């Protein structure tokens, strides 16, 4: 990944450098100018040189000159070439107007600027025109000829190309001017097409017809020289006048007396380029530029003009060599610049490469160091782990050793207890209550015995000292017998027990005792975790050459993370509410593995679990056949079945105690312990506890802390917050003895704490204590109505106990009740039902609450309050006794007097007479 990134960086840099180099090497010309010459001759060569000279000083522009070689078709093709190849402007000297006008017209209309020069087109489809006044040239030529001939003589005219505009104009000017020279006559005019060859033949044939002609007027120098050659061949010597004065032909012909005169036809090539660039740059330009006409060139000035031309040529060549030197310099310069940029790019690339190499090196070094550190860390962790493992092993070993020792120590006394307990439990002369207690003892002694045996077996297994005593069995019959022993327990818990034994040969040799323990363990677990109305299924059969049995239930299921560890020793799925020692399943697995078998579990949370044991079929030969020992159903029931509580009636004179504990045995035992002095109600979890507390409003609650559904702390908090139960003392009863847990208990409002295992006498005395306390408090609340006459809303002042118990909830409840009674004081029909519903309680809840708080029933309390108010009014006002009786809600004054005397020992009249 990193190398790929590096490569991308480098390629990016190379591309950028390449682009820089390309852009440095190539100087882009902004303007491209196309020049289409109709012909190729000296006059046009001069013009082309001027064009190229001018372009030298315009580095922003380039020019391409094409010659049509006097062909209309070639010129049309040249113009199209410029238009189609992105030229910015086209400069044209049209060969013949009629033939070239359409293509110029279309190019111009397509948006390309066109400059027409020298020869013209039809119409005005162009951007600018540059040319000389050809008619004027014709006029000047006529005057010059007239001068030569002293106003008298004959002339032959050699015409240019028929369709080219200069030829037409030059003829017109000549003809018109000769009108004012009557002595001169044009003998003949013929088309020489601007060309030497055409003119030579033409002149020859004309001279053969007009040998005496005085002058030949040719529209250009080439045709003039041809006329001269033709005349010389015929030994004739007419005056010959040409036009153009191009140095190489016209001027030289004059200097060499080949012709007599020529008229300078201006080229002005540089001016064309200037006009074109002005058009392209949007600068001002002349749309029609008429060039000046200088005077004739003849023997008097031909020399000097040729010299001038030579020096111009020399200057031009110097300029050209200068330009080429500059170009060479620039080429060198650009090559060096290119080299410079290449070097820079190379250096940059090198730096980048170096950076990445160094970076990779540092990173690698860093990784290596981290790896080294991690390795060291791992090694030390490994060491630590090893140390911890050894220590853990040691701890486990010593724990097991300790368990074994303790188990050994416990086994003898336990056996000594078990026997008498079993006998006593079966005795016929026990009271129901004694019977229940004995059953509990018997059941738990059995559990303890089994636990001890498991621990000892486990230890033996760990030490490899557990023997397997294989005997031949009919496993189907054996398993059926074992499992059926659980039928009663299942029935008593409303659990459906399904037994499926395959009708197959299920004989194999097993250690009966151990496999029975396996079945017992799996079955008792399944029954323990399956709720009422659930089902437990035992199946047994053959799978190939193996025999299997499985126990499934539709209990809560086991979470995946727990499933993996379920066979680990001491592992408990529910550590908060453990239902066993945590070695049952690991011992089960050990027993199965001792038989060379395997045990697996499949489970889904919320659906149930299935434990499956697979045993290899082995046989140990005859003589060791099992006799299918019958299972002790009674023993299983004694251990697993719930001990049934004896039905009792609540008696009115005994306080009610609510016992909330998830352990059925504890509940039953407490009930037995306390039922002589109290009415005991049991609840199996916090939520049920709250329900019962609200329903029965007990005098005291004994509550376990750790329970399923709702724990004791939350349950206690609820009881203390609920108005109908807030006054009830709560005694927490728990196996947790940690101080913080006690603090948490007190914070939830608990009134006392007793740790398990508890001493029944201590428990009784704590209960009695709390109830006595409550009684004293009741007296204080009750007494307050006797003492306080004015303000009914407060109990007696200055009482230490009052401060202890009058919680905010009680105060608020009591104040509300008093306010309600006071507001209805005059209502003789005020009754407890109304008051209870206004207080948000049921009639009996209000009754128990008021009774618990004040020791009075609500009716007694209301009457006391009425009498107290009456006594206050009797002593502080002058109102009549009858008025006061009605005011405080008595239906008749007589009944009021009766009640008053019962309460205060005197009648209202006696009180008044005393005052």
Inter-CA distances, 345 with 42, 195, 336, Å? 52, 61, 14
* Closest CB 309 distance from ligand FRU, rounded Å: 17
Q: Among 69, 77, 74, which residue's Cα sits nearest to residue 40?
A: 69
Residue placing its CB nearer to ligand FRU in the complex, 117 or 538:
117
Q: Are strands 535-543 and 608-616 parallel, antiparallel or unpaired?
A: unpaired
Least gap, CB of 70 to ligand FRU (angstroms): 8
Nearer to ligand FRU, 72 or 487 (CB): 72
Minimum CB distance to ligand FRU smaller for 120 or for 454: 120
As measured in angstroms, the least distance from the Cβ of 293 to ligand FRU is 12
Give the nearest distance from C-beta 38 to ligand FRU in angstroms. 7
Whole-angstrom distance, CA of residue 790 vs CA of residue 58: 122
Q: Pick the closer one to ligand FRU by CB: 42 or 516.
A: 42
CA 841, 844, 849 angle in degrees (round to 5)?
Answer: 70
Measured from the CB atom, is 6 or 122 closer to ligand FRU? 122
Q: How far is the CB of 95 from ligand FRU (least distance, A)?
A: 9
Angle between helical axes of 858-876 and 760-787 (0-180°, round to 10): 30
Residue 160 or 247 having the CB closest to ligand FRU: 160
**Rounded CA separation 122/163 (Å):** 11
Nearer to ligand FRU, 48 or 539 (CB): 48
Q: How far is the CB of 343 from ligand FRU (least distance, A)?
A: 54
Give me the phi and psi of 902, to 5 degrees please: -60, -35
Shortest CB 279 distance to ligand FRU, Å = 22
The two tokens of residue 25 are 């090497």
Q: How far is the CB of 214 from ligand FRU (least distance, A)?
A: 23
Q: Are the beta carbons of 867 and 900 closer than 8 angstroms?
A: yes
CB-count burial class (<10 Å; 0-12, 13-18, 19+) for 419: exposed
Q: How far apart are CA 107 and CA 91, in angstroms?
A: 11
Report the alpha-carbon distance of residue 170 to residue 155 in Å, rounded. Answer: 15
Comparison of 168 and 861: residue with beta carbon closer to ligand FRU: 168
Does the N-terminal peptide bond of residue 317 adopt cis geometry, omega within 30 degrees of 0? no
CB of 50 to ligand FRU, least distance (A): 14
Residue 161 CB, nearest approach to ligand FRU (Å): 8
Ranked by CB distance to ligand FRU, the top (closest) residue is 220
Distance CA(511)–CA(386), nearest Å, equals 37
Q: Report the distance separating Cα 362 and Cα 384, nearest Å.
A: 32
State in angstroms the smallest separation of the CB of 175 from ligand FRU: 18
Q: Please give the backbone phi and psi of residue 113, each rounded to the nearest 5 degrees, phi first.
A: -65, 145
Nearest CA to 218 among 141, 104, 121, 148? 141
Residue ranges binding ligand FRU (CB under 6 A)? 39, 41, 43-44, 118-119, 160, 164, 166, 194, 220, 243-244, 265
Written as six digits, the tokens of 494 are 């409303």
Nearer residue to ligand FRU within complex by CB, 254 or 825: 254
DSSP-derived pairing of the beta strands 546-553 and 535-543: antiparallel
Q: Which is nearer to ligand FRU, 43 or 285 (CB)?
A: 43
Cβ of residue 265: shortest distance to ligand FRU, in angstroms?
5
Cβ proximity to ligand FRU, 244 vs 711, nearer residue:
244
* Closer of 117 and 781 to ligand FRU (Cβ): 117
| Burial per residue of 192-205, b for 16 or more beta-carbon CB atoms within 10 angstroms, e otherwise | bbbbbebbbebbbe
| DSSP secondary structure code for residue 251 in this structure | I
Task: Give the H/E segment covering residue 114.
Answer: strand 114-117
Give the 3-state secondary structure of residue 530. Answer: coil
- Angle, helix 843-854 to helix 858-876, in steps of 10 degrees: 60
How far apart CA 200 and CA 192 sit, in angstroms, is 8
**What are the structure tokens assigned to 62, written together?**
């380039």
């Amino acid at each position: 990944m990193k190398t790929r990134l590096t490569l991308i960086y480098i390629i990016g840099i190379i591309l950028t450098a390449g682009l820089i180099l390309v852009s440095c090497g190539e100087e882009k010309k902004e303007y491209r100018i196309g020049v289409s010459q109709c012909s190729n001759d000296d006059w046009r060569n001069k013009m082309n040189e001027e064009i190229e000279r001018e372009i030298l000083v315009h580095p922003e522009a380039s020019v391409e000159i094409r010659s049509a070689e006097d062909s209309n078709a070639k010129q049309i093709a040249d113009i199209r070439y410029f238009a189609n190849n992105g030229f910015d402007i086209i400069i044209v000297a049209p060969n013949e107007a009629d033939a070239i006008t359409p293509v110029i017209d279309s190019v111009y209309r397509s948006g390309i600027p066109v400059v027409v020069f020298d020869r013209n087109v039809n119409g005005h489809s162009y951007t600018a025109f540059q040319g000389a006044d050809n008619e004027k040239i014709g006029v000047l030529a006529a005057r010059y000829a007239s001068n030569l001939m002293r106003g008298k003589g004959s002339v032959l005219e050699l015409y240019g190309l028929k369709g080219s505009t200069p030829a037409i104009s030059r003829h017109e000017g000549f003809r018109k001017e000769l009108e004012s020279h009557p002595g001169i006559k044009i003998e003949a005019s013929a088309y020489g097409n601007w060309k030497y060859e055409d003119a030579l033949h033409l002149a020859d044939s004309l001279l053969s017809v007009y040998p005496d002609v005085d002058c030949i007027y040719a529209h250009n120098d080439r045709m003039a020289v041809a006329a001269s050659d033709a005349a010389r061949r015929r030994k004739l010597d007419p005056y010959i006048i040409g036009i153009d004065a191009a140095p190489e032909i016209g001027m030289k012909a004059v200097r060499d007396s080949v012709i007599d005169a020529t008229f300078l036809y201006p080229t002005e090539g540089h001016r064309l380029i200037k006009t074109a660039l002005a058009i392209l740059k949007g600068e001002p330009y002349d749309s029609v530029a008429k060039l000046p006409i200088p005077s004739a060139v003849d023997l008097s000035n031909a020399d000097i003009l040729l010299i001038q031309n030579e020096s111009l040529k020399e200057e031009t060549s110097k300029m050209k060599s200068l330009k080429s030197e500059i170009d060479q310099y620039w080429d060198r310069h650009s090559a060096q610049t290119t080299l410079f940029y290449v070097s820079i790019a190379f250096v940059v690339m090198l730096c980048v490469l170096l950076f990445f190499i160094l970076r990779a090196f540092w990173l690698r070094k860093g990784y290596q160091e981290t790896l080294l550190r991690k390795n060291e860390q791992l090694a030390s962790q490994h060491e630590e782990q090893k140390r911890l493992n050894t220590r853990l092993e040691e701890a486990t070993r010593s724990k097991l050793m300790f368990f074994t020792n303790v188990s050994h120590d416990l086994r003898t006394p336990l056996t000594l207890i078990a026997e008498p307990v079993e006998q006593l439990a079966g005795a016929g002369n026990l009271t129901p209550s004694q019977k229940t207690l004995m059953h509990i003892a018997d059941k738990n002694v059995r559990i303890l015995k089994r636990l001890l045996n498991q621990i000892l077996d486990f230890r033996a297994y760990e030490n490899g000292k557990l023997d397997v005593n294989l005997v031949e069995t009919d496993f189907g019959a054996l398993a059926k017998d074992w499992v059926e022993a659980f039928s009663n327990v299942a029935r008593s818990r409303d659990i459906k027990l399904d037994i499926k034994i395959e009708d197959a040969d299920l004989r194999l040799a097993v250690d009966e005792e151990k496999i029975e323990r396996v079945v017992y363990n799996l079955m008792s677990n399944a029954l323990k975790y399956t709720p009422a109305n659930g089902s437990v299924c035992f199946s047994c059969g053959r799978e190939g050459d193996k025999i299997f049995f499985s126990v499934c239930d539709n209990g809560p299921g086991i979470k995946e993370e727990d499933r993996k560890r379920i066979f680990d020793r001491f592992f408990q799925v529910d550590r908060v509410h453990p239902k066993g020692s945590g070695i049952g399943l690991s011992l089960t697995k050990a027993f199965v593995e001792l038989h060379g078998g395997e045990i697996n579990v499949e489970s889904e949370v919320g659906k149930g679990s299935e434990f499956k044991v697979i045993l290899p079929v082995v046989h140990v030969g005859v003589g060791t056949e099992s006799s299918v020992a019958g299972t002790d159903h009674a023993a299983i029931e004694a251990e697993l079945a719930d001990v049934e509580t004896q039905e009792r009636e609540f008696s009115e004179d005994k306080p009610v105690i609510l016992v909330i504990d998830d352990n059925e045995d504890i509940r039953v035992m407490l009930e037995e312990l306390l039922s002589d002095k109290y009415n005991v109600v049991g609840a199996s979890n916090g939520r049920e506890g709250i329900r019962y507390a609200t329903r029965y409003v007990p005098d005291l609650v004994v509550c376990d802390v750790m329970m399923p559904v709702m724990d004791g702390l939350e349950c206690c908090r609820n009881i203390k917050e609920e108005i109908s139960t807030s006054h009830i003392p709560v005694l927490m009863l728990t196996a947790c003895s940690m101080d913080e847990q006690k603090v948490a208990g007190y914070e939830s409002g608990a009134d006392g704490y007793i740790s398990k295992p508890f001493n029944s006498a201590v428990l009784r005395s704590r209960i009695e204590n709390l109830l006595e306390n409550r009684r004293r408090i009741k007296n204080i609340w009750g007494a307050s109505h006797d003492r306080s006459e004015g303000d009914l809303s407060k109990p007696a002042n200055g009482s230490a106990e009052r401060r202890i118990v009058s919680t905010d909830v009680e105060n608020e409840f009591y104040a509300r009740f008093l306010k309600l009674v006071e507001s209805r004081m005059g209502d003789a029909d005020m009754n407890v039902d109304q008051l209870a519903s206004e207080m948000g309680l049921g009639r009996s809840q209000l009754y128990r609450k008021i009774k618990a708080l004040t020791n009075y029933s609500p009716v007694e309390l209301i009457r006391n309050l009425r009498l107290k108010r009456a006594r206050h009014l009797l002593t502080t006002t002058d109102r009549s006794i009858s008025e006061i009786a009605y005011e405080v809600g008595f239906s008749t004054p007589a009944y009021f007097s009766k009640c008053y005397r019962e309460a205060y020992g005197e009648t209202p009249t006696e009180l008044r007479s005393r005052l």
